Amino acid sequence: MTDTDLQSYKPELPSVMVDDAVRAALREDLGRAGDITTLATIPPDAMANVIIASREEGVLSGMPLARAAFRAINPDIQFETLIDDGDTIAPGDVVARIKGRARDVLSAERVALNYLGHMSGIATATAQFAAKITHTNARVCCTRKTTPGLRAFEKYAVRCGGGANHRFGLDDAVLIKDNHIGVVGDIARTVETARAYVGHLVKIEVEVDTLEQLASVLPAKPDVVLLDNMDAATLRKAIALVKKLNPSTKTEASGGIKLDTIAEKAETGVDYISTGWITHSAPVLDLGLDTSIV
């Protein structure tokens, strides 16, 4: 049985994190005077029936934030989730139905859509990469190349799109690169030094550029090796070396991963393929709000 045979639960975002982020986003949009267009033109007691619908094909992500945006404006707003994060959506699909005071609904709309579009864009990009390598055992994973302030949400969106998460920050896993090796001098001993520092509940990954570096680090039994910028042929040799010298070490490929090249990399037998593109450059997924005010 491999890891990917197991059906994992969908990820969840802690509500304490969601609520605070959404309130800050609303304050950013409402500024000091609030939604002056709505206040000037919509009667206070007008009600709105709204749907959020997809205009594109993709994978949904961000519904808890969208819901929280409407509820933070007014807890009396009814927000019915029709499609869940992680589900595939097509143009025209209605993902939520919202009912409430028209002023409140319109004031929360843009924040809700900005979260949904951004996160669904990341989920969709991740799913597109993942779809190219379903015939392999490799998984797409993310990096720390995320938008400042949004890391937890973007990593959650990667999960929604079927990707795996790399470390969430500088503090939850060790990733040793060229710069870090100078001290001890020796790559394997650097790994051992790091392991002594961080203890037994932190994984250690080492970035290598060449097969020689790889051969020298494997005796230190790193948990993961990051095979950076290797072509498919070199990757195959690297993976063979790992299988031979320390098969429990996981392998990760990185460097210029593109939609049309990922399959070639995945077919080398590498375990993970990481790309910053899915978090820092994925275009938004187009979702919109259709309103009827009564």
As annotated, the active-site residues are 110, 145, 177, 207, 228
Q: Please say which residue, 196 or 233, places its beta carbon nearer to a second copy.
A: 196
Q: Please say which residue, 67 or 118, places its beta carbon nearer to a second copy.
A: 118
Sole binder of a second copy in the list 74, 81, 137, 261 (CB under 8 A): 74
Of 29, 105, 21, 107, give the one whose Cα is nearest residue 62. 21
Least CB distance to a second copy at residue 159 (A):
9
> Binding to a second copy by residue 208, rule CB under 8 A?
no
> Binding to a second copy by residue 227, rule CB under 8 A?
no
> Binding to a second copy by residue 76, rule CB under 8 A?
no
Distance CA 63, CA 68 (A): 8
Q: Tell me the CB-side half-sphere exposure of residue 261, using CA atoms within 13 A.
A: 13
> Binding to a second copy by residue 247, rule CB under 8 A?
no
| Residue 14 one-letter amino acid | P
Query: Using CA atoms in the order 55, 67, 162, 201, what is the torsion angle rounded to 10 degrees?
Result: 160
Sole binder of a second copy in the list 85, 124, 162, 205 (CB under 8 A): 205
Interface segment toward a second copy; rule CB under 8 A; list 86-94, 109-117, 127-135, 260-268 = 109-117
Distance CA 132, CA 282 (A): 16
Q: Tell me the CB-side half-sphere exposure of residue 142, using CA atoms within 13 A.
A: 32
Q: Please say which residue, 148 or 233, places its beta carbon nearer to a second copy.
A: 148
Binders of a second copy in range 15-54 (CB under 8 A): 15-17, 20-44, 46
Distance CA 1, CA 23 (A): 44
Of 134, 86, 123, give the one whose Cα is nearest residue 262. 134
Binders of a second copy in range 268-287 (CB under 8 A): 271-272, 276-277, 280-284
Distance CA 36, CA 107 (A): 9
Judged by CB under 8 A, how many residues of this single chain contact a second copy?
118
Q: Please say which residue, 46 or 82, places its beta carbon nearer to a second copy.
A: 46
